[in-house]
């Protein structure tokens, strides 16, 4: 379990209302949603409301693991999905929901559509809060600027009138826009903890109260403009964080979208009917036409064909299958119709298991403690204590000093409160909150210009900790497209291509591409999993596997994939194809090694092909024939050994490993599910942007540390001045804005930094 900061333990800045009480929530029979896993456990998946941080994960998982018989409790923040596994009969499933209620979280049987609707509604609420705060701030500025510019010349009545107009806008707007902070602070205080939203809420309430009091007494200073502007900027950060969470959630969702939603089921009477994939039961017979995707795992009962397993293994070549062979959900039938008998339900298919692996990886990343969170761990108790001591000191200190014989003026309740508010305002976590995000915005902008899209808020921070780089092969280290390795006779190439033109096989298409335009062979016939046969000028021609086209030819082991071609009694011709490395792959690997990174290659492809690619790229550590689950497990083993791996992959079989890595990247040509699971998306055909991302990440880390040091130094100087009464709330607000400006300008230095 990752370390959790004081801020995270304190509560979540979610802005969600407390969950309904047990009496208000309708009881649902959860037994209907219990499933059995391969380990023999009962499992239940619930949607949890209100969990937003690593502290929530620890609280929920720890509370459930304490229940009798519970073997696993895993909460994914991105999808709000909680999975609990326990020994059958150890407890009723309702006890899990009751425990969540006792911990302060609402729950219901997991429904992806309901979770998405709730997420969308939360985003819409934040946008409304943001719009109200921005509208109020802009309008109040129209009345505040004349007060500032006309100070000393403006009459008391005019100034008071402008203050009242500002108050009429600011009070309802601030009370409405501050709801996310108020609710989060309330939930934290109710749990007898404090989070970063507590001082923000105090600053809002006390500043509004002070401004109203000043206006009632026709005072010179009111701070309605400052409080609405503060809420506006804080809500921008809150909404961006929400968007990042939603983007992370798309990985598993995009993956499940690739699973077939309908299937053709053959009834006992032989009739075929279209059914939902969710309704398929173990033992059902399914008809899979050419071009269809298998909706569930199963065994072929009848038929011979070729399937595309690239989604699951990353291997580009089709696989010949026949009666008795196993097919996994997500595989595409390429050539002929087959009959499949289901061996698993849709929720237990290979694709669904990949989605669970992705969610497990995302859940692990959610526990990563950001740099700003670590810096903020001491912020709340220090600021609260200082503000309280300031108020107490100015409220009772003068009386004590006078009792000791010192002549000290009494500032009263109003002065004590004003000084305490000045402390809260000047130490308001704007500079601290901007210290890291400002750097991340500039760094991601710079990387965008270099062809790297940064998708995760803390991706750059995790990238600075990387010590191992793990490449996938097909489509990542290589171009993912077979290419004719060596030239052959033009006449032979054209003759072979005439047969290849009737086939959808990837090697046939590569052969056609090498030959150029031409006509297909007449009367050609394709044999699934074998090749193509036709007659050319009265001679039998064959193109395909060695055993089909040239059974007497000598097998060649060079790591290349091949097609064989024979025409009549002429000597067989071998067409060798390679998946060429990206142009800069070897240079990038060499530079990574020079910088001290360990480099590995892991692939689901054949050992010969993986070894050839590893040798060409200069990678000594490689593994082949690795399944998606084994890839993910390897990444977990690296992390368990204390290493921080960067996974770079493009296939759907890489999505779970991308989510499990400490940081991850995916080429722009990758499928959407892999891009969604990755932290970085690299545009173009080159791998060199990876080096740029590592360089910029380290530079951004240095700028962020500089900003945090400045924020600490600023608070060490400014807070005592405010506590001693040297700063009014107006000067405190200006100083706070100035500190935010300084950290932003320091972040902009990244734009001018030259590439190292």
Residue 168 scores a pLDDT above 80: yes
The fraction of the chain above a pLDDT of 90, given in percent, is 13
Band (pLDDT 50/70/90 cuts) for residue 600 is: very high
Residue 366 scores a pLDDT above 60: no
Q: pLDDT tens digits for 656-710? A: 788 888 888 888 665 555 566 678 878 778 899 999 999 988 888 888 778 777 7
Cβ atoms 476, 646 nearer than 8 A: no
Q: Which of 210, 216, 238, 247 is nearest to 133 (CA)?
A: 238
In this structure, is residue 380 part of a structural domain?
Answer: no
Q: For the chain, what is the domain count?
A: 4
Q: pLDDT tens digits for 50-95? A: 776 556 777 888 889 889 889 888 886 656 778 888 988 888 888 8
In this structure, is residue 624 part of a structural domain?
Answer: yes
Range with lowest mean pLDDT among 296-300, 319-323, 574-578: 319-323
Residue 19 scores a pLDDT above 50: no
Band (pLDDT 50/70/90 cuts) for residue 311 is: low
Band (pLDDT 50/70/90 cuts) for residue 202 is: confident
For residue 462, the domain's CATH number is 3.40.50.1000
Rg (CA), the chain: 32
In this structure, is residue 191 part of a structural domain?
Answer: no
Would you state the pLDDT for residue 205?
85
Band (pLDDT 50/70/90 cuts) for residue 754 is: very low
Domain that holds residue 280: 262-348
596 and 668 together in one domain: yes
450 and 588 together in one domain: yes
Q: Which residue has the higher pLDDT, 150 or 321?
A: 321
CA 106, CA 187: separation in Å to the nearest integer? 14
Cβ atoms 37, 205 nearer than 8 A: no
Indicate which residues carry an active-site annotation.
Answer: 472
Cβ atoms 182, 368 nearer than 8 A: no
CA 234, CA 218: separation in Å to the nearest integer? 30
Would you state the pLDDT for residue 373?
56
Strands ordered across the beta sheet of 561-567: 478-484, 573-581, 561-567, 539-544, 531-536, 525-527
For residue 38, the domain's CATH number is 3.30.70.100
Q: pLDDT tens digits for 615-626? A: 999 999 999 988
Residue 107 scores a pLDDT above 60: yes
503 and 599 together in one domain: no
Q: What is the mean pLDDT of the chain?
A: 77
In this structure, is residue 133 part of a structural domain?
Answer: no
In this structure, is residue 312 part of a structural domain?
Answer: yes
Residue 25 scores a pLDDT above 50: no
In this structure, is residue 194 part of a structural domain?
Answer: no
Residues 517-524, mean pLDDT to the nearest whole number? 87
CA 32, CA 7: separation in Å to the nearest integer? 38
For residue 306, the domain's CATH number is 2.70.150.10
Would you state the pLDDT for residue 249?
52
Q: Which residue has the higher pLDDT, 261 or 594?
A: 594
459 and 590 together in one domain: yes
Q: pLDDT tens digits for 227-283? A: 787 788 777 767 766 665 555 455 445 555 555 567 788 888 888 888 877 778 888
Would you state the pLDDT for residue 375?
56
Residue 140 scores a pLDDT above 70: yes
Angstrom distances, CA of residue 213 to CA of 58, 161, 173, 218, 547: 43, 14, 18, 9, 93
Residues 218-233, mean pLDDT to the nearest whole number? 77
Sequence-ordered list of residues with C-beta below 8 angstroms from that of 464, at least 6 positions apart, any chain: 697, 698, 700, 701
Determine the Cα angle at 535 with ends 502 and 571, to 5°.
100
For residue 520, the domain's CATH number is 3.40.1110.10
451 and 316 together in one domain: no
In this structure, is residue 395 part of a structural domain?
Answer: no
DSSP designation for 279 = G
Band (pLDDT 50/70/90 cuts) for residue 184 is: confident
Would you state the pLDDT for residue 425?
66
Backbone φ and ψ for 636, nearest 5 degrees, come out as -65, -40
Where a domain ends, among 348, 369, 398?
348
Where a domain ends, among 580, 596, 622?
580
Could you tell me which residues are beta bridge partners of residue 46?
Answer: 82, 109
Side-chain-side CA neighbours of 189 within 13 Å: the count stands at: 14
Residues 317-343, mean pLDDT to the nearest whole number? 84
Q: pLDDT tens digits for 420-457? A: 777 766 666 555 555 666 676 677 778 877 878 776 65
337 and 277 together in one domain: yes
Where a domain ends, among 314, 348, 382?
348
Residue 11 scores a pLDDT above 50: no
Pick from 107-116, 409-418, 531-540 the range whose average pLDDT is largest. 531-540
Would you state the pLDDT for residue 390?
84
Residue 516 scores a pLDDT above 70: yes
607 and 659 together in one domain: yes
Q: Which residue has the higher pLDDT, 252 or 712?
A: 712
Prediction pTM value: 0.60
The fraction of the chain above a pLDDT of 70, given in percent, is 75
585 and 474 together in one domain: yes
462 and 507 together in one domain: no
Classify the C-alpha dihedral 670-676-679-680 as positive or negative.
positive
586 and 689 together in one domain: yes
Band (pLDDT 50/70/90 cuts) for residue 368 is: very low
Residues 101-123, mean pLDDT to the nearest whole number? 70
Residues 648-653, mean pLDDT to the nearest whole number? 77
Q: Which of 358, 241, 342 is nearest to 664 (CA)?
A: 358
570 and 541 together in one domain: yes
563 and 631 together in one domain: no
In this structure, is residue 56 part of a structural domain?
Answer: yes
Residue 756 scores a pLDDT above 50: no
């Amino acid at each position: 379990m990752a370390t959790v900061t004081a801020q995270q333990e304190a509560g979540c800045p979610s802005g969600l209302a407390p969950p309904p009480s047990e009496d208000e929530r309708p009881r649902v029979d959860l037994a209907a949603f219990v499933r059995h896993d391969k380990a023999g456990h009962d499992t239940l998946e619930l949607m949890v409301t209100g969990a937003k941080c690593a502290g929530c994960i620890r609280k929920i998982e720890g509370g459930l693991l304490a229940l009798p018989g519970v073997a696993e409790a895993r909460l994914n923040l991105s999808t709000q999905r909680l999975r609990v596994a326990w020994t059958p009969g150890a407890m009723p499933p309702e006890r899990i929901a009751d425990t969540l209620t006792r911990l302060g979280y609402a729950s219901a049987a997991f429904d992806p559509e309901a979770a998405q609707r709730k997420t969308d509604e939360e985003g819409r609420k934040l946008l409304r809060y943001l719009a109200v705060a921005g509208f109020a701030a802009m309008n109040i500025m129209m009345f505040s600027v004349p007060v500032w510019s006309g100070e000393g010349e403006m009459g008391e009545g005019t100034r008071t009138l402008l203050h009242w107009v500002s108050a009429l806008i600011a009070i309802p707007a601030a009370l409405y826009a501050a709801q996310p902070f108020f609710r989060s602070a309330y939930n934290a205080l109710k749990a007898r903890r404090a989070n970063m939203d507590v001082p923000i809420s105090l600053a809002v309430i006390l500043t509004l109260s002070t401004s109203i009091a000043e206006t009632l007494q026709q005072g010179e200073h009111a701070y309605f403009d400052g409080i609405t502007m503060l809420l506006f900027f804080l809500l921008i950060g809150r909404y961006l964080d929400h968007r990042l969470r939603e983007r992370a959630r798309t990985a598993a969702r995009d993956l499940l979208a690739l699973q077939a939603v309908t299937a053709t089921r053959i009834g006992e009477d032989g009739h075929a009917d279209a059914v939902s994939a969710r309704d398929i039961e173990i033992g059902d017979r399914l008809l899979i036409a050419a071009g269809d995707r298998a909706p569930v795992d199963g065994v072929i009962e009848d038929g011979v064909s070729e399937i595309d397993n690239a989604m699951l293994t990353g291997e580009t070549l089709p696989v010949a299958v026949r009666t008795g062979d196993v097919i996994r959900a997500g595989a595409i039938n390429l050539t002929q119709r087959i009959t499949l008998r289901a061996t698993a339900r849709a929720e237990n298919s290979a694709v669904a298991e990949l989605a669970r692996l992705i969610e497990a990886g995302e859940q692990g990343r959610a526990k990563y403690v950001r740099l700003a969170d670590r810096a903020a761990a001491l912020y709340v108790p220090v600021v609260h204590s200082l503000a309280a001591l300031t108020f107490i000191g100015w409220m009772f200190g003068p009386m004590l000093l006078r009792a000791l014989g010192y002549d000290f003026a009494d500032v009263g309740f109003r002065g004590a409160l004003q000084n305490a508010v000045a402390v809260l305002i000047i130490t308001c976590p704007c500079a601290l909150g901007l210290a890291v995000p400002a750097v991340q915005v500039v760094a991601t902008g710079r990387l965008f210009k270099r062809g790297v899209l940064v998708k995760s808020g803390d991706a750059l921070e995790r990238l600075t900790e990387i010590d191992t780089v793990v490449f996938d092969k097909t489509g990542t280290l290589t171009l993912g497209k077979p290419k004719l390795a060596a030239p052959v006779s033009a006449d032979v190439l054209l003759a072979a291509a005439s047969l290849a033109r009737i086939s959808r096989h990837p090697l046939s298409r590569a052969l056609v591409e090498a030959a150029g335009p031409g006509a297909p062979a007449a009367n050609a016939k394709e044999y699934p999993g074998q090749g193509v046969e036709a007659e050319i000028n009265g001679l039998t021609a064959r193109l395909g596997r060695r055993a089909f086209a040239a059974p007497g030819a000598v097998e060649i082991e060079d790591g290349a994939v091949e097609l064989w071609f024979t025409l009549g009694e002429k000597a067989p011709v071998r067409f060798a194809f390679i998946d060429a490395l990206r142009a800069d792959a070897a240079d990038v690997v060499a530079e990574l090694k020079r910088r001290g990174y360990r480099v590995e290659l892991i692939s689901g492809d054949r050992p010969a092909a993986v070894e050839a690619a590893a040798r060409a790229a200069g990678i000594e550590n490689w593994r082949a024939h690795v399944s998606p689950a084994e890839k993910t497990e390897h990444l977990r083993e690296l992390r368990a050994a204390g290493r921080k791996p960067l996974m770079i992959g493009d296939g759907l079989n890489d999505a779970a490993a991308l989510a499990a890595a400490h940081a991850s990247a995916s080429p722009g040509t990758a499928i959407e599910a892999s891009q969604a699971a990755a932290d970085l998306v690299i545009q173009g055909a080159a791998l060199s942007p990876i080096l740029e991302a590592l360089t910029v990440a380290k530079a951004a880390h240095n700028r962020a540390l500089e900003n945090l040091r400045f924020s600490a130094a600023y608070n060490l100087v400014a807070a005592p001045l405010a506590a001693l009464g040297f700063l009014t709330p107006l000067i405190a607000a200006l100083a706070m804005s100035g500190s935010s400006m300084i950290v932003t300008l320091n972040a902009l230095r990244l734009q001018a930094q030259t590439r190292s």
